[in-house]
Amino acid sequence: MEAIFAVWQRDLIKFFRDRARLLGSFAMPLMFLLIFGIGMDGALSSMLNVSGMDQLSNFNYVSFIYPGIIAMTVFSTSIFSALSVVNDKEEGYMKEILVSPVSRTNVAIGKILGSTTVAVIQGLLMLLFIPLIGVEVGIMNIAKLLPIMFLVAFTLSSIGMMVASTLKTSTGFQAVIQVIIFPMLFLSGAFFPLNGMPDWMNALVKINPMTYAVDLFKHAMLDVNSMNETLRQAMGLNLSVFGHQVRTWEEIAFIMALGALFVMLATLFFNRSE
């Protein structure tokens, strides 16, 4: 137990000590928020005004994309944090850990929890943008968001750990992770409402676990119940698979199951490595 805590704490100390990484982690989401948020917002509202749909006058692209960007931050931070495992191999520290009496399973779990925590912190830091962009997010929303963030971060960290266990170089790791993360992000509904897609893309979206994660983030952060049906539909908040409207608990159960699966696989891979 203490070893898990030690491995976890080490990653956190290093996270807070690395100022450049801390600041850099803001850059990407902020850029997305500014470019997409401001750029698309104007374009979308002018289109919606032309089409003259009054019911959509409340469509605010910034509030649509904001949960998506927080989700993106949590995804990429958690999956990329496993880079520390590869770095430890490259820099030699992994040897110190592996010759110690700590079991490999505990090392893997400590590392996964470290990445999870870092990702949750990063996600929470994104909430600092709230006053800046004028969206309404209450304390209750944040309370709902927190466990979801943790769950999603844990699952993604396990995937990252699984990949990191099989690779020896950080460049290799980054290449593989980018191939995994970008399609997952762009086909998750984080950046555009999942409406009117061709069937093949719709199929990809529906098998992408991140779709359900993003949906959870949106439902936690947006006041979905006070929206009218047309707006809800336009924002892609009525996620359904085979005509079945997906419920929140189902999404949570699905991501939990994935988390359990990947944490097992990650531990297995890490135990087998070298």
Partner 1 sequence: MYIMDDNVIEVKGLKKKFGDFEAVSGVDFEVRKGEIFGFLGPNGAGKTTTINMLCTMTRPTEGDASICGHDIFREKGKVRESIGIIFQENTLDEKLTAHENLMLHCRFYSVPRDEREKRVSEVLRMVELDDKRNEVVENYSGGMKRRLEIARGLLHYPRVLFLDEPTVGLDPQTRTHIWDYILELKNREGITIFLTTHYMDEAEYSDRIAIMDHGKIIALDTPDNLKKKVGGDIIELVTEDNERARGEIVSKYGKEVKEKGTTLSFNVNNGSEFLASFIKDLDVEVRNINLHRPTLNDVFLSLTGREIRDEVSNGKKKPKFGPHH
Report the nearest approach of partner 1 to the CB of residue 74 (Å). Answer: 24
Which residue lies nearer to partner 1 by CB, 5 or 182? 5
Give me the residues that bind partner 1 (CB under 8 A), please: 2-3, 5-6, 10, 13-14, 17-18, 91-93, 95-102, 274
Rounded least distance, CB 114 to partner 1, Å: 13
Q: Is 254 exposed, middle or buried (0-12, 13-18, 19+ CB in 10 A)?
A: middle
| Closest distance to partner 1 from the beta carbon of 274 (Å) | 8
CB of 83 to partner 1, least distance (A): 14
CB of 198 to partner 1, least distance (A): 48
Q: What does the longest C-alpha to C-alpha distance in the chain come to?
A: 68
Q: Between the CA of residue 127 and those of 97, 137, 139, 142, 272, what are the distances in Å?
A: 35, 9, 11, 9, 39
For partner 1, give the closer residue by CB, 11 or 251.
11
Q: Closest CB to partner 1 among 14 and 232?
A: 14
Nearest distance in Å: CB 7, partner 1: 9
> Which has the closest alpha carbon to 112: 208, 11, 180, 24?
11
* Identity of the residue, 10 or 144, whose beta carbon is nearer to partner 1 in the bound complex: 10
CB of 273 to partner 1, least distance (A): 12
Between 18 and 250, name the residue whose CB sits nearer to partner 1.
18
In the complex with partner 1, the residue whose CB is nearer, 2 or 229, is 2
Which residues lie below 8 Å from residue 141, measured CB to CB, with a gap of 6+? 220, 221
Task: Determine how many CB atoms are found less than 10 A away from the CB of residue 84.
Answer: 23
Nearer to partner 1, 18 or 136 (CB): 18
